[in-house]
Amino acid sequence: MRYDTPATPRLLLIVDDALGAIEGEALAAAARADVQTVWIGEPCPAFGAGKFDAVAAYITEDAGLALHTVIEAMDRAAEEGQGGILVIPPPLFDLALRLAPHPDIALVAQGDTLGQAAALGLALARRPVGLAQDSPPSFLREERPSADLRRLSEEAARIAQMLASLAGTSWGPIAEHYNLSAKPLPPDPQRLRAMIHQRRLRDRFFATDLFADPAWDMLLDLMAARLERVNVSVSSLCIAAAVPPTTALRWIKSLETEGLVDRVADPEDQRRIFIVLSDEGYDRMCAYLSAVDARR
């Protein structure tokens, strides 16, 4: 069984500074992709019509609404099935999530070389696969998804391996989002802060990757913040998770999918959103803490 794919993947690189251009072109070279680099403000080719296999944007600041414009364009391309990665510094995480990019656009932290490699590998692996002239019978064509997934995994791993060698705020209106008096509160939010401190203290004596548990770190921080009526921005929560920003973003998305956290827009700053513990997340944390107390 044989499938035809373009011999060389094609990447459109959108940048707003020289460092992004260097980093993005190194990524493309590692992926063995033909790259066309376009600077913000220059005429940009239509990249949703099949001319490129993936789009990578390196945005370091939101000057001139660059982030808004790029996300809107990448959203349109993603709707047409084109892969894309958006590389930004952690301070822009809040704004990027508020703009809610398409789920197929991978959001990666600036400087996270391996994360960028994996994301680009996945994006390029989505390029169309065509049947060769000697295409197999229809009952064998059902094997194509497995072949695609295997090729996707191998390409992402190869790019990652190659690149590895390269060099709060007052509570304000958010309080109205919840009825805090409707449910019993744990006796002391400082207990949660003590738990967080103990987990960070552990890192002084053991390798951090031995006990990586970012989802739990986030839930503890958000539970304490809710009890203290403190807002938590995306960037602050990434720090609380004690993992690389790209990894933290994936965990935030997972917690949101599970219904444990919500996004709430900051009414005073259009560039920022807050991550808050949902009612379901709050109930589960209360139930857990009560169960722990019951076993004492």
Residue 159 is part of a domain; what is its CATH number? 3.40.50.2300
- Whether 10 and 155 map to the same domain: the answer is yes
Domain's final residue, options 164, 186, 209: 164
- Whether 180 and 158 map to the same domain: the answer is no
- Whether 192 and 209 map to the same domain: the answer is yes
Confidence band of 150 (pLDDT split at 50, 70, 90): low
Selected residue with higher pLDDT from 140 and 11: 11
Domain's final residue, options 164, 186, 211: 164
**Number of structural domains found in the chain:** 2
Q: What percent of the chain has pLDDT over 70?
A: 73
Q: What's the mean pLDDT when you consider all of the chain?
A: 76
CATH number at residue 262: 1.10.10.10
Across the range 194-200, mean pLDDT stands at 81
Across the range 7-17, mean pLDDT stands at 85
Q: Which of 85-99, 144-158, 200-214 has the lowest mean pLDDT?
A: 144-158
- Whether 86 and 178 map to the same domain: the answer is no
**Confidence check: pLDDT of 263 > 50:** yes
Checking phi first, is residue 247 left (phi over 0); if not, alpha (psi -120 to 50) or beta? alpha
Highest mean pLDDT among 28-32, 275-279, 291-295: 275-279
Residue 192 is part of which domain span? 172-294
Confidence band of 170 (pLDDT split at 50, 70, 90): very low
- Whether 92 and 234 map to the same domain: the answer is no
Selected residue with higher pLDDT from 257 and 290: 257
Selected residue with higher pLDDT from 87 and 141: 87
- Whether 125 and 21 map to the same domain: the answer is yes
Residue 262 has a pLDDT of: 93
Q: Please tell me the distance from the alpha carbon of residue 56 to that of residue 76, in angstroms, as a whole number.
A: 14
- Secondary structure, 3-state, the chain: CCEECCCCCEEEEEECCHHHHHHHHHHHHHCCCEEEEEECCCCCCCCCCCCCCEEEEECCCCHHHHHHHHHHHHHHHHHCCCEEEEEECHHHHHHHHHHCCCCCEEEEECCCHHHHHHHHHHHHCCCCCEECCCCCCHHHHCCHHHHHHHHHHHHHHHHHHHHHCCCCCCCHHHHHHCCHHHCCCCCCHHHHHHHHHHHHHHCCCCCHHHCCCHHHHHHHHHHHHHHHCCCCEHHHHHHHHCCCHHHHHHHHHHHHHCCCEEEEECCCCCCCEEEEECHHHHHHHHHHHHHHHHCC
**Confidence check: pLDDT of 208 > 60:** yes
Residue 123 has a pLDDT of: 83
Q: Please tell me the distance from the alpha carbon of residue 118 to that of residue 163, in angstroms, as a whole number.
A: 10
- Whether 193 and 261 map to the same domain: the answer is yes
Domain's final residue, options 164, 183, 198: 164
> Which of 268-272's residues contact partners 24+ apart within 8 Å by CB, and which partners?
268/172, 270/98, 271/62, 271/94, 271/95, 271/98, 272/94, 272/95, 272/98, 272/233, 272/234
- Whether 134 and 209 map to the same domain: the answer is no
The pTM assigned to this predicted structure is 0.64
- Whether 153 and 20 map to the same domain: the answer is yes
Highest mean pLDDT among 41-45, 50-54, 113-117, 153-157: 113-117
**Confidence check: pLDDT of 14 > 60:** yes
- Whether 159 and 176 map to the same domain: the answer is no
Across the range 31-47, mean pLDDT stands at 82
Across the range 142-150, mean pLDDT stands at 47
- Taking only the tens place, the pLDDT of each residue in 21-37 is 888 888 888 888 888 89
Taking each helix axis from N to C end, the angle separating 113-124 and 18-30, rounded to the nearest 10 degrees, works out to: 60
Residue 158 has a pLDDT of: 55
- Whether 64 and 146 map to the same domain: the answer is yes
Residue 7 has a pLDDT of: 66
**Tokens representing 86?**
């958006």
Residue 135 has a pLDDT of: 45
- Whether 138 and 7 map to the same domain: the answer is yes
